């Protein structure tokens, strides 16, 4: 690597699901291996119950999978802007906030970048979604304030933000012709972002950007609710303590259990009492017994990983794809097919279509004027996403960028501006 002359800027794509780092050297872009030889690491943390320090990335996931006692957390980015971000809780043997956790994560990746490059990074160019919270401008603004404060607390003196699809446009504009109009579709773990850009003479003009709070974790949540939660009692009935009338099973607990960011907060005495009460009154106690197993043994993230694996298998049209839940009860599994998955995701295609049209309208560009539609982000690999893009911009050539690194590449390139 040919190092920058001075004042290097660390490009950070702090994603809901994955994080990546890069720097622009004198000889061009360099991704920074952030975990062994990997260009990305899962945005996940693990706090061992017995102490020993926070683990991050694949090490955190391995601790969870290997059954180490502790608290696993993922999708931290989705809590930015929420009052929950600043609430103190017991983690790793001491009370701390999620803001403290994100800061510690950023401290660690900054240190790894400095060891890998031999540079000291005082400035950061960070990606951000166009909208952290598409329906709440106040929370959206607070989310950037929260993330900026975490970067400063992690030791960065200068903090700049660039919308993620705009960063991707800088990295991907050469996928089209020398002169063309492109559309970035960036479907991440927590948000979907869109940018219309014009590439001409090697330069990129950003014409419009738009974003909605919809991403891969939402896909997982819907699939979990439709395919898995029924095995734990969702949709069932409860007997009254007195009388013969039956009551519907409440939804809130199952909704939280199927939501990545909310799973860690279910492991409380209060939740255990609720589940015990449900079990005592359930018409189908065998199913609720499985729910008790999940809560008591803190298997919520294992369930979420199983759903994610099932989603990927169904998207690839793997024969006999299923969601393996054998760790809850021997032989337990939920079948999943491309058809059943698409049925679960009904409505998301409409939301994506509307968001694309909104972006085109802001740019004053007709669908037929888009020469290249470029898919970015891990969740863009879902087939229904490319189907939506093809139907919305039928004359555009659909290209796939490097799904997990296009944003960080563009952040590093844009840092030279």
3-state secondary structure of 131: coil
Q: What is the mean pLDDT of residues 189-199?
A: 94
Q: How confident is the model at residue 51 (pLDDT cuts 50, 70, 90)?
A: confident
3-state secondary structure of 121: coil
- The pLDDT value recorded for residue 107 is 97
- The pLDDT value recorded for residue 177 is 61
Distance (Å, rounded) from C-alpha 27 to C-alpha 29? 7
CA 397 to chain centre: 27
3-state secondary structure of 324: strand
How does strand 322-324 pair with strand 333-335?
antiparallel
Looking at the predicted structure, is the pLDDT value of residue 3 above 60? Answer: no
pLDDT tens, residue by residue, 230-277:
999 999 999 988 777 899 999 999 999 999 989 988 999 999 999 999
E-state strands within 175-319: 180-187, 192-200, 203-212, 237-239, 246-248
Express as a percent the part of the chain with pLDDT over 70: 97
- The pLDDT value recorded for residue 253 is 97
Region class of 68: left (phi > 0), else alpha (psi between -120 and 50), else beta: beta
Q: Which residues, listed in sequence order, are joined to residue 70 by a DSSP beta bridge?
A: 48
- The pLDDT value recorded for residue 4 is 56
Domains and their CATH numbers in the chain:
9-164+409-414 (3.30.420.40)
Lowest mean pLDDT: which of 176-190, 319-333, 380-394?
176-190
Q: Which contacts (CB < 8 Å, 24+ apart) does range 198-202 have?
A: 199/173, 199/174
Q: How far is CA 246 from CA 67, 229, 237, 250, in A?
A: 38, 20, 6, 12
- The pLDDT value recorded for residue 6 is 66
Per 3-state DSSP, what percentage of the chain is helix, strand, and coil (rounded to 5)? 45, 25, 30
- The pLDDT value recorded for residue 5 is 55
- Cβ-contact 255, 368 below 8 angstroms: no
Q: What is the mean pLDDT of residues 291-316?
A: 95
- Cβ-contact 68, 42 below 8 angstroms: no
End-to-end CA gap in the chain: 20
- The pLDDT value recorded for residue 135 is 86
Looking at the predicted structure, is the pLDDT value of residue 2 above 70? Answer: no
pLDDT tens, residue by residue, 62-121:
998 888 888 899 989 999 999 999 999 888 788 899 999 999 999 999 999 999 999 999
The string of DSSP letters for 28-91 reads: EEEEPP-BTTBSEEESEEEEETT-S--EEHHHHHHHHHTT-SEEEEE-GGGGTTSGGGG--EEE
Distance (Å, rounded) from C-alpha 250 to C-alpha 269? 18
Lowest mean pLDDT: which of 8-22, 178-192, 210-224?
178-192
User: Which H helix or E strand runs over 153?
Assistant: helix 137-153
CA atoms within 13 A on the CB side of 354: 7
242 secondary structure, DSSP code: S
Q: Which residues, listed in sequence order, are joined to residue 205 by a DSSP beta bridge?
A: 198
Distance (Å, rounded) from C-alpha 12 to C-alpha 408? 6
Distance (Å, rounded) from C-alpha 97 to C-alpha 314? 37
Q: What is the mean pLDDT of residues 145-152?
A: 98
Q: What is the mean pLDDT of residues 320-330?
A: 95
- Cβ-contact 262, 256 below 8 angstroms: yes
- The pLDDT value recorded for residue 44 is 94
3-state secondary structure of 182: strand
Give Rg (Cα) of the chain. Answer: 22
Q: What is the mean pLDDT of residues 210-232?
A: 96
């Amino acid at each position: 690597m040919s190092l920058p002359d001075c004042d290097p800027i660390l490009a950070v794509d702090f994603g809901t699901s994955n994080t990546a780092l890069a720097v622009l050297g004198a000889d061009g872009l360099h991704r920074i291996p952030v975990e062994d030889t990997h260009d990305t690491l899962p945005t996940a943390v693990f706090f061992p119950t017995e102490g020993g320090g926070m683990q991050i990335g694949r090490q955190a996931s391995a601790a969870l999978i290997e059954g180490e006692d502790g608290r696993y957390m993922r999708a931290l980015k989705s809590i930015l802007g929420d009052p929950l971000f600043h609430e103190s809780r017991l983690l790793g043997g001491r009370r701390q906030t999620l803001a403290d956790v994100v800061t510690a994560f950023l401290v660690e990746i900054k240190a790894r970048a400095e060891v890998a490059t031999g540079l000291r990074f005082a400035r950061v160019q960070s990606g951000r979604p166009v909208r952290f919270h598409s329906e709440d401008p106040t929370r959206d603004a607070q989310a950037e304030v929260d993330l900026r404060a975490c970067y400063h607390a992690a030791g960065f003196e200068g903090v700049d933000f660039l919308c993620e699809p705009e960063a991707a446009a800088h990295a991907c504009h050469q996928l089209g012709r020398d002169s063309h109009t492109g559309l970035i579709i960036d479907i991440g773990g927590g948000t979907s972002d869109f940018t219309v850009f014009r590439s001409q003479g090697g330069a990129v003009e950003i014409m419009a950007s738009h974003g909605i709070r919809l991403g891969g974790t939402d896909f997982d949540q819907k699939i979990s609710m439709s395919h898995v939660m029924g095995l734990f009692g969702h949709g069932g009935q409860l007997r009254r303590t007195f009388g013969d009338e039956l009551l519907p099973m409440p939804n809130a607990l199952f909704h939280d259990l199927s939501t990545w960011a909310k799973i860690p907060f279910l492991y409380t005495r209060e939740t255990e009492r609720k589940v015990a009460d449900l079990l005592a009154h359930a018409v189908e106690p065998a199913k609720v017994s499985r729910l008790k197993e999940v809560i008591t043994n803190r298997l919520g993230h294992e369930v979420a990983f199983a759903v994610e694996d099932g989603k990927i298998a169904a998207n690839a049209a793997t024969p006999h794809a299923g969601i393996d839940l054998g760790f809850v009860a021997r032989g337990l599994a939920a079948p999943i097919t491309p058809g059943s998955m698409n049925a679960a995701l009904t409505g998301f295609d409409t939301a994506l279509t509307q968001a694309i049209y909104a972006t085109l309208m802001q740019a004053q560009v007709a669908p037929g004027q888009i020469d290249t539609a470029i898919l970015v982000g891990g969740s863009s690999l879902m087939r229904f996403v490319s189907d939506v893009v093809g139907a919305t911009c039928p004359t555009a050539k659909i290209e796939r960028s490097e799904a997990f690194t296009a944003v960080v590449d563009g952040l590093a390139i844009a840092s030279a501006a």
